[in-house]
Amino acid sequence: MPKSPFEIPPSDSFLNAPLRATIDLQALADNWRFMSRQSGKARAGAVVKADAYGLGIEDAGQTLYNAGARDFFVAVPPEGETLRIYAPDARIFVLSGLWEGMEDIFFDNDLVPVIASEEQLAFWMRTVAEHGDHPCAMHVDTGFNRLGLSMEDALYLASDVSRPASFSPVLLLSHLACADDPASPMNQKQLEAFRTIRAAFEGIEASLSASAGTFLDSDYHFDLTRPGISLYGAEAVNGVANPMKPVVKAEARIIQVRNAKAGETVSYGAACTLNRDSRLAIASVGYADGYLRNLSGHGVALRNTGLSGASGFIAGHKVPVVGRVTMDMTIFDVTDVPEKAVSAGDYIEVFGPNMPIDDVARNAGTIGYEMLTSLGLRYERHYLEAE
Q: Which residues are catalytic?
A: 49, 268
Gap between the Cα atoms of 247 and 228, Å rounded? 13
Find how far residue 200's CA is from the centre of its chain: 33
| Contact present, 327 and 286 (Cβ < 8 Å) | yes
Q: Which strands sit side by side in the sheet containing 171-173, from one edge to the other?
A: 46-47, 71-74, 91-94, 111-115, 137-139, 171-173, 205-207
CA distance 297 to 221: 42
Contact in structure between 327 and 346 (CB atoms under 8 Å): no
Residues 6+ apart with CB under 8 A from 104: none
329 assigned binding-site residue: no
Residue type, 76: V
146 annotated to bind ligand: yes
Strands 19-24, 248-260: pairing kind: antiparallel
How far is 43 from 62, CA to CA, in rounded Å? 18
99 backbone dihedrals φ, ψ, rounded to 5°: -130, 160
Position 189, amino acid: K
Question: Residue ranges for the binding site for substrate?
Answer: 146, 327
Question: Residue ranges for the binding site?
Answer: 146, 327
